[in-house]
Amino acid sequence: MGFQSKLLGLCLWLLFASSTVNENGGEGEAEGGGFLKGIVVINGKSGIGNIDDDFVCATLDWWPPEKCDYGRCSWGLASLLNLRANNHLVLDCFAAFSPLKIRLGGTLQDKVIYGTEDSGQPCTPFVRNTSELFGFTQGCLPMHRWDELNAFFKKSGAKIIFGLNALAGKSIKSNSATGPWNYTNSESFIRYTVSKNYTIYGWELGNELSGNGVGTSISADQYASDVAVLRDIVQNVYKEVEPKPLVIAPGGFFDANWFNEFITKSGKSVDVITHHIYNLGPGVSEDLVQKILNPSYLDGEANTFSGLKDILRSTGSSATAWVGEAGGAYNSGHHLVSDAFVYSFWYLDQLGMSASYDTKTYCRQSLIGGNYGLLNTSNFVPNPDYYSALLWHRLMGSNVLSTTFQGTKYIRAYAHCAKQSKGITILLLNLNSTAVETEVFFSNNTRSLWHRSGRAREEYHLTPKDGNLQSQTMMLNGNILSVNSGGEIPALDPLYVNPSTPIRVAPFSIVFAHLPYVVLPACS
């Protein structure tokens, strides 16, 4: 018995599993049984990455109601300037995470001035003007509104990352912003924030100005100089405060050459390197669902994660990698796709993939606003991805395990040390119309470390209502997830399953499986 018998069993299972998979990688049903067989193989010796305990992050943006894409105006009153703070349901959605990181920023952050006493400019709102950069005039954050927001953030327990205006003082010509950053207004705003004892987790400089930029760009050399100035400001203003906020940049799309130069020249000025992801293309696209369900397409973003990881390692940087903004489909997403069940395949795959490349935090665009909000823009009721994010937050621990799936390419598999026990949690995404039954095996003889002790496996099966992938209603273990009459978030209770049985993943469904009885060296 021992390791050799387990290895023999693994080989026999692989042989049987492979015999049930058709040459298209599992697109049809297996003969007779109506399901495919496969295995999850986990290396339990050591982790391959480590994420923050508050890995899940969401954004709040500046877009006013006049922000429209493809004839649809989807932002409503979701802006930092007009969002109704102190809404009971929103506070409950925050509280369920305890804490939730919130990144305040977006395209218009580089046109925001801060209405401090010494700003020297009128504090006026954004106005739609198509001839202006980003389609709007300069706007202003009044300090009374900043006070309101911070009162709300304090109640919610959120950890706040604020995106500062990196274009202040620059000359913009031919898609290039030149000259040093005029930090005067930003420094005044930071000093005001400290004087009011508002807690900021991180200050981020600029939005989508790296590489070729969006609208305009800043050279890597100049950006590094500007970030060094921000570092000095933070060190000075927070001289008597500990811990000091993180200095974060550049909040743009990954360009290997630009990022390599920026990281090299920034040295220790920057604590976190942020990049943005909109890998599904424009929100108007009609093939978004097909892209989301295509494993080869999903695999493409691995190049970004691995590229940034390699640069951080090769430069010897102490900075960590975050996804600072990710909405999947740009220009506000797509109604009944980015706010529907099907988007959880893209979103959870992104969380799993980014974590496996040692990304520490992943900020979803958005918490509220556009067609990709975790919460409905009008009534703040959670969309399906909110529940996906909450399950991830509660179940997936900080240590990431090397995980592969064998049997069909249409299962995406990720595993972490569990957050609620000394065991592990496995995430399985079935992108196919055929059910899959999977066993769990461990490489390097780590299966001998299983301790069942009569404990059940806990499973969370996510499916769309009526089998409609574009439904905005998610089911957990066959029950509709919805807030109750009092506006409270539903309990997310598992099924308890005999650990000797395979994990069954229904067609086009998602399963979190918590195995509390598995004790691995990587998790001890």
Give the span between the Cα atoms of 352 and 307, in whole angstroms.
Answer: 17
User: Is 278 contained in some domain?
Assistant: yes
Give the span between the Cα atoms of 514 and 493, in whole angstroms.
Answer: 12
Provide the total of helices (H) and of strands (E) in the chain, helices listed first.
11, 25
Task: Respond yes or no: is residue 117 known to be catalytic.
Answer: no
Taking Cα atoms as reference points, which of 203, 256, 207 lies closest to residue 234? 203
**Sequence-distant (≥ 6) Cβ neighbours of residue 500 within 8 angstroms:** none
Residue with tokens 């209405």: 115
User: Is 417 contained in some domain?
Assistant: yes
Query: What is the number of domains present in the chain?
Result: 2
What pLDDT score does 34 carry?
A: 86
- 349, 374, 397 - which closes a domain: 397
CA angle 288, 405, 443 (to 5 degrees): 150
In this structure, the answer to whether residues 117 and 40 fall within a common structural domain is no
Three-state SS at 4: helix
User: Is 456 contained in some domain?
Assistant: yes
Tell me which residues of the chain have a pLDDT lower than 70: 1-33, 444-454
Taking Cα atoms as reference points, which of 223, 214, 429 lies closest to residue 325? 214
What pLDDT score does 30 carry?
A: 54
- 397, 417, 437 - which closes a domain: 397
The pair of structure tokens assigned to 348 is: 């959870």
What pLDDT score does 454 carry?
A: 65
In this structure, the answer to whether residues 388 and 443 fall within a common structural domain is no
Task: Respond yes or no: is residue 325 known to be catalytic.
Answer: yes
What pLDDT score does 26 carry?
A: 40
User: Is 227 contained in some domain?
Assistant: yes
Give the span between the Cα atoms of 114 and 116, in whole angstroms.
Answer: 6
Q: Give the phi and the psi of residue 447 in degrees, each rounded to 5.
A: -65, -25
In this structure, the answer to whether residues 454 and 333 fall within a common structural domain is no
**Sequence-distant (≥ 6) Cβ neighbours of residue 191 within 8 angstroms:** 237
In this structure, the answer to whether residues 331 and 353 fall within a common structural domain is yes
485-507 burial, b at 16+ Cβ within 10 Å, e below that, comes to eebebeebebeeeebeebbbbbb
Q: Which domain holds residue 313?
A: 51-397
Identified catalytic residue from 187, 204, 208, 459: 208
User: Looking at residue 501, which CATH number applies to its domain?
Assistant: 2.60.40.1180
Identified catalytic residue from 204, 301, 325, 437: 325
The pair of structure tokens assigned to 185 is: 């207004």
